[in-house]
Structures are given as C-alpha cells and as structure tokens.
Amino acid sequence: MKRIFMFFTAFAVLFVFNACASKAVDPMQERIEKHIVFEGLSKDIVKSFNYRTNSNSLLEVELILLSRNDKTISYEISWFDEDGFKIQGPAYADKKDKLKLKKNKEFVVQRVAANKDAVSFKIILKKG
C-alpha cells in the first residue's frame, strides 16, 4: 500500500511540474502579440523583435526578419501617444515600405519615433 501511495505522489508531483512548465510564455512572443499584426504572413518570419526608449527619450524599434523563401512583403509602423491616439503629422505619415526578402537572409528593420510623444506603436506586416 505504501508503494502505491508513493507512486501516486510521485506521479502527482510530476504532473504539477509538467503543467506549470508548459505554461511558460516566451517574452519575445508576448511582445510580438502586443505590437505586430500579420496579414497573410506566418509569425515565424520574425527572428527577433525588440524595442526600447533610447538615450534621447525616443521610442526605438528593431525587427529582424528571416524568410525561408524569396518573398516581397510590406510593412508600416503607426506610433501612438500616452492616451492611445495615433500620432499624425508629416513625420508620421502612413508610409508602407516594401521589402524584398531573400531566402535564409536576415533583414533588419530599425525605426525611431520622430518625437517623445510616441510611447507605443503597432507594426503591420503584409504579404506582397
């Protein structure tokens, strides 16, 4: 009887540790979910993604893309103020840039907000 109890106790402990381990969330995946919208593209095109407030107090974004095939994509970055409003103006005009990604070659996108009002952003990645 004692062996059966020990077996079930060990099984329960392993089950709890396994359940907790499977819920760990990758910090980069959390950032991607919060800041990037994919339209017709797989999320695995993003190799790395970071952002920070730089030494000039400007929001800075770095996105490293890696494609398994040659493909053309477009992207745009919208910047938002502390109230969640989209920042307008010549420096923030909606600009859709096209990128030609080469098979298995990294492409680095780095952008810096034009002024300190930008505290958040959204990146839209589209196929074609």
For residue 85, being part of any structural domain is answered with: yes
pLDDT, tens only, 109-120: 999 999 999 999
Is residue 43 over pLDDT 90? yes
pLDDT, tens only, 60-74: 999 999 999 999 999
For residue 110, being part of any structural domain is answered with: yes
Place of tokens 């993604």: 49
For residue 44, being part of any structural domain is answered with: yes
* Gap between the Cα atoms of 56 and 53, Å rounded: 8
Is residue 21 over pLDDT 90? no
Is residue 105 over pLDDT 70? yes
The total domain count for the chain is: 1
For residue 97, being part of any structural domain is answered with: yes
* CATH number for position 35: 2.60.40.3230
Q: Are 101 and 107 in contact (CB under 8 A)?
A: yes
This prediction has a pTM of 0.76
For residue 101, being part of any structural domain is answered with: yes
In sequence order, what DSSP letters do the residues of 48-65 get, joined into one string? EEEEEE-TTS-EEEEEEE
In this prediction, residue 128 has a pLDDT band, given cuts at 50, 70 and 90, of confident
Q: Which helix (H) or strand (E) holds 77?
A: strand 71-80
For residue 40, being part of any structural domain is answered with: yes
Is residue 77 over pLDDT 80? yes
pLDDT at residue number 59: 96
Q: Are 94 and 88 in contact (CB under 8 A)?
A: no
Which residues are CB-contacts of 52 (< 8 A; sequence separation ≥ 6)?
A: 59, 60
Q: Are 80 and 87 in contact (CB under 8 A)?
A: yes
For residue 108, being part of any structural domain is answered with: yes
Which residues are CB-contacts of 106 (< 8 A; sequence separation ≥ 6)?
A: 47, 64, 65, 66
- Provide the residue range defining the domain that includes 100: 27-127
For residue 9, being part of any structural domain is answered with: no
